[in-house]
Amino acid sequence: MASTYSSSLRIELIGAGEQAGTWNTTTNTNLGTLIEAAIAGYVAVSVTSANQAFTALDGAADQARNAVIALTTTTGANFNVYAPPQEKTYIIDNTTAFTATIFNSTVLGNTTAAGTGIAVPAGKKLIVFSDATNFYTIEAANLTGVLAVVNGGTGVTTSTGTGNTVLSTSPTLVTPILGTPTSGTLDNCTSNTETFGTSNTQLATTAFVQAAIAGAATFPSGTAVLFAQTAAPTGFTKSLTHNNKALRVVTGTASSGGTTAFTTVFTNQTPTITTSGLSVGATTLTTAQIPSHAHGIAKGSADSGFSGGCGDGVAGTTNNAGGGGSHDHTITGTATSTAITLDVQYVDIIIATKD
């Protein structure tokens, strides 16, 4: 009886009474070459066309029998490969820059797809298996039981794909660029925001980063800062201690003082001038201050009260006149004043203290 070949791996099945004295050669080929290739074999396949079938030979080494198939290509585009129409599991290593799709052939060796295929993205490795018509891949949705978590942890027992995923053991996360996070419960990939001033290797949340960018995280609590706006920014509280005051630069101890409000002092002012009750001081004139003048002497006798002569018509001097007293001068006219412009320009600011 002549030899036949198995349908899946095409291993030679020796007929009864055949190959007497040489059956070991066939058996060694089956076990040491063909079955080993199916379990642990690796082959590189160069794809030179858009559709290419793996070689599949009876009782001899071929491409389709290997467990791992690495794909290279010269097509310069996405391509398809075809496996025999038999049940088989492969690890496909797509080393190319293009997508490779694996199908089952309708007939051994042709490039007509028997059913659905599996696309292996460029540069990816994928486990695929066939039912002789369609190819499938292993997806998380197809797995049951406990799933392993990379870098530690026992994984999850159930997952619906929505909502929260609860880990039975807190995993050790891969150290990120921003530092090592502290252990804790991860809820929808969010975490608690640390308080300002925290300085360690914890991850920074977006809330923490926003506050830091705004400058809030750079000031110790209680620090007073000036802001040219009405409301205090996030992380600060508006101070109500000072209102309508000027700023003064000092080199010594900082303090406050003064009694009059800023806008009361710096507004346009018109001085008030009082004119009532004004007078000029009394002045006594000296002889030198009196204008030069003379007084005529009338005719008279020596008894008339004139001195210095006798008889009628004789010239003389008059007696002293005036009491030698002082006198006042009256001030006339209207007093006026001009407004003083003190309404300086200003910008309102607030003082806010760091929370």
Q: What is the pLDDT of residues 250-273, one digit of tens each?
A: 777 888 888 888 888 888 888 887
Contacts (Cβ under 8 Å, ≥6 apart) of 122 = 94, 96, 97, 98, 99
Whether 35 and 99 share a structural domain = yes
Domain count of the fold of the chain: 3
Query: How far is CA 31 from each of CA 37, 59, 303, 339, rounded to the nearest angstrom?
Result: 9, 11, 186, 117
What is the reported pLDDT for 348?
Answer: 81
CA distance 266 to 345: 9
pLDDT at 186: 44
Give the pLDDT band (50/70/90) at residue 215.
Answer: low
Assess whether 188 and 253 both reside in one domain.
no
Query: Which tokens sit at 194?
Result: 């640390």
pLDDT (mean) for 279-290: 75
Q: What is the side-by-side order of every strand in the sheet holding 79-83?
A: 51-53, 79-83, 100-104, 118-120
pLDDT at 123 over 60: yes
Query: Do residues 234 and 214 both lie within one domain?
Result: no
> For residue 122, what pLDDT is reported?
95
What 3-state class would DSSP assign to 12? strand
Long-range contacts of 205-212, Cβ-Cβ distance < 8 Å, separation of 24 or more: 211/235
- Check if the beta carbon of residue 103 is closer than 8 Å to that of residue 113: yes
Q: What is the pLDDT of residue 42?
A: 95
Residue 193 lies in a domain: yes
- Which one of 182, 199, 218 terminates a domain? 218
Nearest to 235 by CA among 254, 217, 258: 217
Task: Say if residue 109's pLDDT is above 80.
Answer: yes
Residues near 173 by beta carbon (within 8 Å), at least 6 away in sequence: 151, 180, 181
Instruction: Kindly state the tokens that stand for 140.
Output: 């998380």
pLDDT grade, residue 183 (50/70/90)?
Answer: very low
- The pLDDT confidence band at residue 299, using thresholds 50, 70 and 90, is low
Query: Does the structure show a pLDDT above 90 at 143?
Result: no
- As a whole number of angstroms, the distance between CA 101 and CA 32 comes to 30
Within this chain, do residues 210 and 101 fall inside the same structural domain, yes or no? no
Using 50, 70 and 90 to split pLDDT, how confident is the model at 47? very high
Percent of the chain scoring above 70 in pLDDT: 70
User: Quick one: pLDDT band at residue 155, thresholds 50, 70, 90?
Assistant: low
Asked if residue 109 is part of any domain, the answer here is: yes
70, 128: one domain: yes
pLDDT digits (tens, 9 = 90+) for 309-331: 545 555 566 666 666 666 677 77
Output 230 or 166, whichever has higher pLDDT: 230
Within a domain: 147:
no
Given this model, what pLDDT does residue 176 score?
Answer: 45
Question: Is the pLDDT at 184 greater than 50, yes or no?
Answer: no
pLDDT for the residue numbered 127? 94
User: Are 89 and 33 contained in the same domain?
Assistant: yes
Kindly list the distances between the CA atom of residue 260 and the CA atoms of 217, 247, 257, 343, 351, in Å, as whole numbers in the listed order: 37, 14, 10, 15, 20
- Report, as an integer, the average pLDDT of 1-27: 81
Owning domain of residue 51: 4-138
Same domain, 213 and 243: no
Q: What is the DSSP letter of 187?
A: B
**Judgement on whether residues 38 and 91 belong to the same structural domain of the protein:** yes
